[in-house]
Amino acid sequence: MTTEQINHHLTDDLLMAYSAGSLPEAFSLVVATHISLCDECRARLGSFDTVGGAMLETCGDAEMSAGALDATMARIMKGAPVQKPRSSGGVFPTPLQNYIGGDLDAVKWRPVGMGVRQAILPTSDDASVRLLYIPAGCAVPDHGHRGTELTLVLQGAFVDEDGRFARGDVEVANEELEHTPVADIGEDCICLAATDAPLKFRGLVPRLAQPFLKI
């Protein structure tokens, strides 16, 4: 796999929180997967890791809080994404393959309506993460957000009110964005999407289905 042409990146807030080990597991998975595809965000993360490390050194052992120690340990434990990633040779980058235990053929899809399928991945329950399969030319129902939604494209592309997102691009959506992602014609779109609060669907039917789909 060659270097991706990535136009949409992670925010500094997310990279700092990831560096400090304070993101929910669901968000960490999206961040780690984006970083494995993106030289730019990996370099920015490296500088946050350095700043975090320097702050710990000046604190001294006696003054280091339990929280800071936990964050440091978390960073050491997950260290791998900062290194130059190896190509996984599949649709899923290495961190995601490791998490799922395989590539695309290991995924158990469930229909969510209008041709869209999802697979919820098990994580700690402070946030949730799922794989979304949007057939070429199809749309995810129009919705807003109560919290933060991270959507990373793994195959194909989608277009919404914020632009066009292709493999490696990540969309950071919050309360201010209401969007209707539509997959490009020509290739089915596969995304990894994490949310920390339920979405707000405008249409009645998606709203009624929401509790069953855990979106």
Q: Which residues contribute to the site for Zn ion (CB under 5 A)?
A: 9, 38, 40-41, 149, 173
**In angstroms, how far is the first alpha carbon of the chain from the final one?**
32
What interhelical angle do 66-78 and 39-59 show, nearest 10? 140
Structure tokens at 153: 């494209």
The least CB distance from residue 133 to Zn ion, in Å, is 16
CA–CA distance, 71 with 19 (Å, rounded to integer): 8
Residue closer to Zn ion, measured from CB, 26 or 41:
41
The least CB distance from residue 101 to Zn ion, in Å, is 25
Structure tokens at 162: 């914020």
The least CB distance from residue 114 to Zn ion, in Å, is 15
The least CB distance from residue 64 to Zn ion, in Å, is 31
Residue closer to Zn ion, measured from CB, 56 or 200:
200
Residue closer to Zn ion, measured from CB, 9 or 207:
9
CA–CA distance, 106 with 64 (Å, rounded to integer): 42
Structure tokens at 114: 């209008």
User: Which amino acid is located at 145 in the chain?
Assistant: H
Residue closer to Zn ion, measured from CB, 7 or 67:
7
